[in-house]
């Protein structure tokens, strides 16, 4: 399953580890907020809708950051854009630790989100352009598995810090750790170079050709609309579920902090396994069937997890498929979206499709919090997440299959090169 690693070049490996490390550290910071929601509610006197608002505002700002910085990477290069967004994200995560009021926290988390979204867009395009097409799905899916690594680190830190420190100090320490991604800049500057194809592309491009709105041209408009719908379903389902999962386990399942961490550990391990499985399947069966398969399985497992009257043991067992199938969707999006657009607008296209979903999905955590006033939190999560994942199943069927597509950067041609023949899966 990991034979591809021996087949890629030294520069491809360095780019892989740079992106992997960046996304793991981002996940560490982002998931700390979800874990800290119960403490933040008590500290600032919030209700669930207020807590969902912080998550929602962060998602909107990250969406704008992804689209804008994706377009910026088309102009200044993927590596420089990645460096800028890492610094931005790290600084505002650290500053969030010093928020004295709910309003301050809201603003700082919004600014943090802008950098996070931009970092994903720049890193995803960099990785897609640096890796050869026959391994693109496997490599980008494996990079996405870094989210599980960072998520697991956040859970471990949460368990340790909340034991050693009082709650009103623990969440500040956790947010303060968010400065760690800044140290990744040293690795990026020393080891990662701009893909040669991208350098050629930018050398031939006039400055006025860089336009974030080019993705709405008639020849790519349909792809942009459908891709954005896929992003809405993918992010909406994930954030409706994962933002509120720790609170759900604690308040409705009445699990202790350590027990909640234990349940989350199962989901996180499954998430990593799901990313790796999706990475392998993408290059075997194609982008569309892989994405539809994982989304359909998400609908079934989410509804079972929150609606069935399960005991603790059954919930523990079901937690594995919940995390496994939830992972396959984001693991598929990086490769798919990169392969939908030509080089001169790839950063803008990837940034928009992936992050437009964040703008719309910002309403999902807020809606879950609002709906939980009139129904159980578990029911609210199940309804919102189930509908979101169902949208992915429908939307992905309207996109073309892109497995094996060359990411041609030469603007002398108006079209990408033809896809490679499908690999023999016997």
Determine the 3-state secondary structure of 105 from DSSP: helix
Side-chain-facing half-sphere of 6: CA atoms under 13 Å: 3
What whole-number distance in Å separates Cα of residue 44 and Cα of residue 54? 12
DSSP letter string, 190-207: HH----HHHHHHHHH--G
Q: How many helices (H) and strands (E) does the chain have?
A: 18, 0
> What is the crossing angle of helices 146-164 and 257-285, to 10°?
170
Token code pair at residue 77 = 């290069």
CB 51 within 8 A of CB 377: no
Q: State the pLDDT at residue 209.
A: 54
| pLDDT tens sequence for the chain (426 residues) | 678 888 888 888 988 988 888 888 878 877 787 778 778 888 887 777 777 788 778 878 888 888 888 888 888 888 888 888 888 888 888 898 888 888 888 899 889 889 888 888 888 888 888 888 888 889 989 998 998 898 888 888 888 888 888 877 888 888 888 787 777 777 887 778 777 554 445 544 544 455 778 889 888 899 999 999 998 998 888 888 877 877 777 777 776 654 556 667 787 889 899 999 999 999 889 899 999 999 999 988 888 877 777 776 777 778 789 889 988 898 888 888 888 888 778 888 888 888 888 778 778 878 888 888 888 888 888 888 888 999 999 999 888 888 877 775 433 333 343 443 333 333
Domains present along the chain, CATH in parentheses: 8-183+211-396 (1.20.1250.20)
Handedness of CA 49, 50, 51, 56 (dihedral sign): positive
Location of structure tokens 């994930």 = 238
Token code pair at residue 358 = 């964040």
Query: Hey, what long-range contacts does 218-226 have (CB within 8 A, 24 or more apart)?
Result: 220/340, 220/341, 220/345, 220/349, 222/398, 223/340, 223/341, 223/349, 223/399, 223/400, 224/349, 224/352, 224/353, 226/395, 226/398, 226/399
Q: H/E/C letters for each residue in 331-368?
A: HHHHHHHHCCCCHHHHHHHHHHHHHHHHHHHCHHHHHH
Q: State the pLDDT at residue 292.
A: 92
Q: State the pLDDT at residue 413.
A: 38
Q: State the pLDDT at residue 259.
A: 58
């Amino acid at each position: 399953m990991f034979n591809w690693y021996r087949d890629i070049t030294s520069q491809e490996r360095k780019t892989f580890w740079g992106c992997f490390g960046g996304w793991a550290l981002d996940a560490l910071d982002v998931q700390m907020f979800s874990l800290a929601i119960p403490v933040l509610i008590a500290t600032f006197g919030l209700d669930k809708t207020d807590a969902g608002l912080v998550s929602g505002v962060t998602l909107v700002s990250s969406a704008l950051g992804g689209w804008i910085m994706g377009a910026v990477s088309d102009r200044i290069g993927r590596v420089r854009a990645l460096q800028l967004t890492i610094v931005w994200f790290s600084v505002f995560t650290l500053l969030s630790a010093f928020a004295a009021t709910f309003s301050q926290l809201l603003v700082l988390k919004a600014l943090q989100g802008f950098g996070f979204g931009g970092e994903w867009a720049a890193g995803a395009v960099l990785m897609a352009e640096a890796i050869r097409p026959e391994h693109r799905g496997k490599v980008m899916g494996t990079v996405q598995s870094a989210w599980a690594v960072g998520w697991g680190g956040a859970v471990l830190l949460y368990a340790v810090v909340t034991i050693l420190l009082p709650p009103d100090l623990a969440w500040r320490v956790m947010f303060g750790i968010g400065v760690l991604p800044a140290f990744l800049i040293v690795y990026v500057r020393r080891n990662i170079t701009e893909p040669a194809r991208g350098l050629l592309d930018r050398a031939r491009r006039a400055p006025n050709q860089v336009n974030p709105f080019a993705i709405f041209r008639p020849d790519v408009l349909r792809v942009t609309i459908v891709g954005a719908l896929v992003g809405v379903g993918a992010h909406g389902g994930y954030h409706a579920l994962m933002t509120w999962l720790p609170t759900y386990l604690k308040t409705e399942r009445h699990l202790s902090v350590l027990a909640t961490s234990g349940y989350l550990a199962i989901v996180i391990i499954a998430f990593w396994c799901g990313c790796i499985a999706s990475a392998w399947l993408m290059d075997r069966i194609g982008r569309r069937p892989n994405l539809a398969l994982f989304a359909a399985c998400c609908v079934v497992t989410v509804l079972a997890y929150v609606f069935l009257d399960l005991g603790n043991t059954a919930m523990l067992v079901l937690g594995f498929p919940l995390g496994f199938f939830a992972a396959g969707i984001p693991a598929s999006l990086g490769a798919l979206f990169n392969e939908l657009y030509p080089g001169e607008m790839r950063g803008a296209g990837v940034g928009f499709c992936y992050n437009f979903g964040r703008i719309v999905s910002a309403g999902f955590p807020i809606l879950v919090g609002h709906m939980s006033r009139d129904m159980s939190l578990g029911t609210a999560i199940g309804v919102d997440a189930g509908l979101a994942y169902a949208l992915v199943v429908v939307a992905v069927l309207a996109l073309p299959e892109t497995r094996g597509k060359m990411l041609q950067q030469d603007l002398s041609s108006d079209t990408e090169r033809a896809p490679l023949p499908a690999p023999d899966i016997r």
